[in-house]
């Protein structure tokens, strides 16, 4: 199984035990992104446009109630979508290896911020879940930052350690240690769903990177019961799991019941733009966590499938970019970012369709939210940057020089 997955994303240039290709050997395509990169931007632009329309439609009633203005969510979504597009094109012009150089600093900063959040909660400065940090428009979820920190640092470690990737002490345990620190800190915020997705991304990168499968299976066999025990330890998580298994419509399943009603109302072609009934104070967070329900109700089964198809297209474009990445670092970064955005989309849609327990995972590029949209735009910009590089030496039959694999 691992060989088939690796084959999907493996580059034509494989330096074996080498780490990251010498940066001076990489040649940018003079601003001409590959087809996959261009298609990726088009897909993201369409998703953002859908988000603007749907957030306004689903959030107008809530905005009047909360902020005395039906256009409150609309203008914020417009502003952040514009900033998101700017972020995509700005980051696309950067050399993505800057994240290789700074991966340790980024990871340390994410761990520091996650620890700071928990410390603030411990002294009473934060009540409830300790997820957000910052002020005003600069306020963001640290877990979004930590997710990218794990991707960057794992991509660096895996590419550097290819010569001894199956070694337990010098390869596997250091990566597992870094991953478990971030996952544990996010889980005790508490944010179990995001912690689980970060863990899944990390283990998938290790799997594709070629770590010893026995080490990976042993770790997962230990973590699954531990994660299950943690999941049922909190009453609200236990209630969500029970409601999913039993179909109970009381209490914790209120949102899901309203979501299913909304999806059923849409039928094949939908009720039309702005005609959603569930959005009007029946479905909490209809402009955020359950925005897919409004899409299904107003645009019907056809509209819902179209959105799913866009995310499938995003996933395929990301894999194509990873396959043709100029070096291992770019390949693993592309895989990680593609997985992160696609997984969050899958989970959000699955929750709306009552295929998974209710979580707080938003729908990328569509759900209301400024900084989350900017983080996702950062990821798209990095994918664009990776797609802009080629290997002219390889085209001439000469492999470029590479730096030797190093221990982190």
Q: What is the pLDDT of residues 310-365, one digit of tens each?
A: 999 999 999 999 999 999 999 999 999 999 999 999 999 998 888 888 777 889 99
d(CA 220, CA 232): 18
Name the band, by pLDDT with cuts 50, 70 and 90, for residue 8. very low
Ranking 42-56, 245-259, 300-314 by mean pLDDT, the lowest is 245-259
d(CA 397, CA 219): 42
Mean pLDDT value across residues 94-107: 95
**CA 348 to mean position of chain CA atoms:** 11
Q: How many alpha carbons lie under 13 Å from residue 379 in its C-beta half-sphere?
A: 33
Mean pLDDT value across residues 75-88: 94
Instruction: Return the higher-pLDDT residue of 87 and 258.
Output: 87
Ranking 104-113, 133-142, 235-244, 394-403 by mean pLDDT, the lowest is 394-403
d(CA 286, CA 259): 9
pLDDT of residue 394: 40
**Cβ burial 373-406 (10 Å sphere, 16+ → b, else e):** bbbbbbbbbbbbbbbbbbbebeeeeeebebeebe
The domain segmentation of the chain, as residue ranges, is: 34-390
Instruction: Return the higher-pLDDT residue of 261 and 5.
Output: 261
Ranking 140-144, 236-240, 344-348 by mean pLDDT, the lowest is 236-240
- Decide if pLDDT at 121 tops 70: yes
pLDDT of residue 20: 41
Residue found by looking up tokens 């419509």 in the block:
249
Asked whether 88 and 386 are in contact (CB, 8 A), the reply is no
What CA–CA distances, in Å, run from 246 to 230, 250, 253, 359, 396? 20, 11, 10, 17, 62
d(CA 363, CA 371): 13
pLDDT of residue 7: 46
**CA 251 to mean position of chain CA atoms:** 29
d(CA 346, CA 39): 20
Name the band, by pLDDT with cuts 50, 70 and 90, for residue 244. low
| 147: its two tokens | 């997710």
Mean pLDDT value across residues 258-279: 83
Name the band, by pLDDT with cuts 50, 70 and 90, for residue 57. confident
- Decide if pLDDT at 399 tops 70: no
Q: Among candidates 323, 361, 317, which has minimal Cα distance to 343?
A: 361
Ranking 110-114, 139-143, 235-239, 250-254 by mean pLDDT, the lowest is 250-254
Ranking 18-22, 359-363, 373-377 by mean pLDDT, the lowest is 18-22
Ranking 47-51, 237-241, 273-277 by mean pLDDT, the lowest is 237-241
Name the band, by pLDDT with cuts 50, 70 and 90, for residue 66. confident
pTM of the predicted model as reported, rounded to 2 decimal places: 0.86
Mean pLDDT value across residues 264-284: 79
What burial class does residue 277 get, using C-beta atoms within 10 Å of its C-beta: 0-12 exposed, 13-18 middle, 19+ buried? middle
- Decide if pLDDT at 129 tops 80: no
Residue found by looking up tokens 């909304």 in the block:
262
pLDDT of residue 123: 85
Torsional class of 136: left (φ above 0), alpha (ψ -120 to 50), beta (otherwise): left
pLDDT of residue 136: 67
Ranking 169-173, 247-251, 261-265, 377-381 by mean pLDDT, the lowest is 247-251
Mean pLDDT value across residues 241-254: 59
d(CA 107, CA 252): 35
Mean pLDDT of the chain: 82
């Amino acid at each position: 199984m691992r060989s088939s997955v690796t084959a999907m994303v493996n580059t034509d240039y494989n330096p074996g035990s080498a780490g990251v290709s010498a940066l001076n050997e990489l040649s940018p395509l003079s601003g001409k992104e590959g087809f996959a990169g261009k298609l990726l931007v088009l897909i993201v632009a369409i998703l953002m446009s859908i988000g603007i329309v749907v957030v306004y439609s689903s959030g107008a009633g809530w905005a009047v109630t909360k902020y005395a203005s039906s256009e409150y969510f609309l203008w914020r979504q417009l502003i952040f979508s514009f900033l998101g597009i700017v972020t995509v094109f700005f980051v696309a012009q950067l050399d993505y290896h800057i994240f290789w150089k700074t991966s340790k600093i980024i990871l340390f900063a994410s761990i520091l911020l996650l620890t700071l959040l928990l410390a603030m909660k411990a002294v009473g400065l934060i009540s409830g879940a300790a997820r957000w940090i910052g002020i005003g428009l600069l306020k963001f979820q640290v877990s979004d930052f930590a997710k990218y920190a794990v991707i960057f640092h794992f991509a660096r470690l895996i590419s550097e350690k290819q010569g001894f990737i199956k070694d337990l002490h010098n390869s596997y345990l250091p990566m597992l240690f870094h991953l478990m620190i971030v996952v544990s800190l996010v889980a005790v915020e508490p944010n179990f769903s995001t912690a689980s997705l970060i863990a899944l991304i990390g283990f998938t990168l290790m799997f594709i990177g070629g770590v010893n499968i026995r080490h990976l299976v042993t770790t997962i066999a230990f973590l699954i019961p531990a994660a299950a025990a943690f999941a049922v330890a909190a009453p609200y998580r236990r209630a969500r799991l029970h409601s999913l298994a039993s179909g109970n419509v009381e209490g914790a399943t209120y949102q899901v019941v309203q979501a299913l009603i909304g999806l059923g109302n849409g039928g094949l072609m939908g009720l039309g733009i702005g005609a959603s009934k569930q959005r009007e104070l029946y479905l909490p967070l209809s402009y955020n966590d359950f925005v897919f329900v409004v899409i299904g109700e107003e645009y019907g089964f056809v509209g819902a499938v179209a959105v799913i198809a866009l995310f499938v297209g995003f996933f395929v474009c990301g894999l194509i970019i990873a396959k043709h990445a100029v070096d291992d670092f770019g390949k693993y970064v592309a895989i990680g970012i593609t997985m992160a955005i696609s997984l969050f989309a899958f989970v959000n849609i699955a929750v709306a369709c009552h295929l998974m327990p209710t979580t707080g995972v938003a729908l990328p590029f569509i759900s209301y939210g400024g900084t989350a949209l900017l983080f996702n735009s950062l990821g798209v910009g990095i994918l664009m940057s990776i797609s802009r590089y080629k290997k002219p030496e390889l085209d001439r039959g000469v492999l470029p020089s590479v730096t030797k694999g190093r221990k982190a």
